[in-house]
Amino acid sequence: MEQPWDLLFPQLWPTCTWSFKHSAPLKPVLWKRYVDDTFCIVKKGSEKHLLDHLNSVKPSIKFTIESEEDSKLCTFYGLLIKERESDGMLTSTVYRKNTHTPSYLHFKSHHPNHVKRGVVRCLYQRTRRLTNMSENLKEEEKHLHKVLQSNGYDYATIRAGSKELPSQDHTNTEQEKGLILTIPYIAGLSESIQRVCRDFDIKTAFRWGKTLRSYLTKVKDTIPITTESSIVYNIPCSCGKAYIGETRASRMLAVHAACKSPSRI
């Protein structure tokens, strides 16, 4: 780049995009939006004028700016975008917050092996998709290898999960027919049952059984069905019709209201 360009607009209201593009006095060089975040490149020094225009499109919506700092164009949906000093090319790598803790599913946890392999594969695939320079990719892969080892993963599992998978053909949408057996997951036993079922062309799916925590703890109190509010209810009638409605009152009150108003049924 001949001169520094930078601007990042987080928390952008999506419907303002159309009005902005047609009414902005200063058109940005690059405008990339995803949901409520927008990565925008304009000439340095004009970002204040652009911000004022965005805030004037919808006065009830206030925009914020995160500008370039130390050749870093901040973050954009998991990306840390930087400007290379040699030629000004934009490079991207994985972004981690300062509060990030490298804690993932531990290898010794009570989970199926394919789930643990999926953790390794997912992390490496995410790194390859977000990193566009070979030197950054090598650093990220070394970081992942070290983090996974600290979470108990052995070298063989990390190596198998770090391999790039061949592209798959998703054009065939027909689902394969066959029996599916759902069983509780018990380490060692469930895998043996899965191997036996595979010989008979039976697919297996694991589910979690009751644990001590599920018996002793309840995150939310159970609400009686007669005291629930903001619900859609269906009240049948002897004539064969039914009354369907939505109310903010409790279900019991809705039932009494329907009984007092037979003309609405």
Q: Looking at 94, 121, 141, which one is the last position of a domain?
A: 94
Assigned domain for 108 exists: no
Assigned domain for 75 exists: yes
Whether 232 and 212 map to the same domain: the answer is no
pLDDT score for 171 = 59
Whether 69 and 29 map to the same domain: the answer is yes
d(CA 37, CA 60): 18
Whether 76 and 32 map to the same domain: the answer is yes
Whether 207 and 229 map to the same domain: the answer is no
| Average pLDDT value for residue range 134-162 | 91
pLDDT score for 8 = 40
Assigned domain for 132 exists: yes
Whether 75 and 149 map to the same domain: the answer is no
Split at pLDDT 50, 70, 90, the class of 184 is: confident
d(CA 204, CA 182): 6
Between residues 223 and 71, the one the model is more confident about: 223
pLDDT score for 13 = 44
pLDDT score of 20 more than 70? no
pLDDT score for 216 = 81
Assigned domain for 45 exists: yes
Report residue 14 as tokens.
């999506």
pLDDT score for 265 = 38
Whether 207 and 242 map to the same domain: the answer is no
Whether 81 and 135 map to the same domain: the answer is no
Measured in degrees and rounded to the nearest 5, phi and psi for residue 118 equal -65, -35
pLDDT score of 121 more than 90? yes
Name residues whose C-beta falls within 8 Å of residue 61's C-beta, 6 or more positions apart in sequence: 13, 16, 55
Between residues 148 and 178, the one the model is more confident about: 148
Assigned domain for 168 exists: no
pLDDT score for 150 = 94
Assigned domain for 50 exists: yes
Whether 63 and 126 map to the same domain: the answer is no
Whether 51 and 120 map to the same domain: the answer is no
Split at pLDDT 50, 70, 90, the class of 151 is: very high
pLDDT score of 74 more than 80? no
pLDDT score for 174 = 57
Name residues whose C-beta falls within 8 Å of residue 54's C-beta, 6 or more positions apart in sequence: 9, 12, 16, 20, 63
DSSP 225: G
Report residue 56 as tokens.
């004037």
Whether 51 and 82 map to the same domain: the answer is yes
Assigned domain for 101 exists: no
Whether 13 and 85 map to the same domain: the answer is yes
Whether 75 and 20 map to the same domain: the answer is yes
| Average pLDDT value for residue range 54-83 | 76
| Average pLDDT value for residue range 2-29 | 53
Lowest mean per-residue pLDDT among 192-196, 204-208, 254-258: 254-258
pLDDT score for 9 = 41
Task: Please state the domain count of the chain.
Answer: 4
Assigned domain for 173 exists: no
| Average pLDDT value for residue range 84-92 | 74
Q: What are the tens digits of pLDDT across the range 51-62? A: 888 888 777 878
Domain with 203, as residue range(s), is 180-216
Q: Return mean pLDDT, the chain.
A: 76
